[in-house]
Structure 1
Amino acid sequence: MDPISTAALAGATLAATAALQSVGEEAGRSSWTVASRLLERIRRRFVGNHEAEDALARACESPDDETAVNALHRALYAYMRQDPDFAHEVRRLVDESVRSNGGVGGVSAAVIKNVQVNQGKVEVAGDLNFS
């Protein structure tokens, strides 16, 4: 998966999840604040594009619905490919979300069911088998 697609998937997942977070429980957490800012930024960028707005609304209503989140991912990816400044901003907010969770899993396989985002160097010693 290319870096823009990975950032778009992370952004889509964070935005969808932020929409359902309980303000009373989560508003004090910096990761929730970052995800909320990302959600608002995406909303502002999608204004006027009914297909993208619908994808965002569906994903926010059902963040566990992989089809809805994938539709948001595709819309977000298209915008990020067309607008490098917007892509940079989404990546920055995703990275900030990771850092606000101690740098270890603000965006992880638990959040993004198909992608593991790794911010650090990976070293392997010994035998490594993939299956």
Structure 2
Amino acid sequence: MLRHLEALKQTSSVTEYQQHFEELTHGIILHNPAFDDTYLVTRFLGGLKEEIRAAIALHRPKDVDTTSALTLLQEEELENSKKKIIHRDQSKSAYKAFSRVDKPKTIDSGKSKIKPVENKLGSLKAYCR
């Protein structure tokens, strides 16, 4: 069981990871109650996804219950921020679609169409002569 605890990694939600962790720790503590909170908190943090682990480690939680609660809050906050980013990106793309103004690429000057840059260059050359 100890090997399973050491190899445990978060692959889905924090809730599922937390359930697997609790199952393994209960079995370990039944056989050896000498494991302290520091070891269990370290193992719990070690298996979390990096984006969650970094924020929780800053709090330096003292027990697994506190670590679990902070982890659930962090996961919820990450999901909310991802939703905000997706919503913001969608609104930006919608704004770009409505605010796009088609600029004329050519200027109609009688018989042929001349690009604005060529027209300016021709005017400059004529002025210099």
Give me the TM-score of the superposition, normalised by structure 2. Answer: 0.29
- Larger C-alpha radius of gyration, 1 or 2? 2
Give me the TM-score of the superposition, normalised by structure 1. Answer: 0.28
Q: Higher RCO, 1 or 2 (CA under 8 Å, sep at least 6)?
A: 1
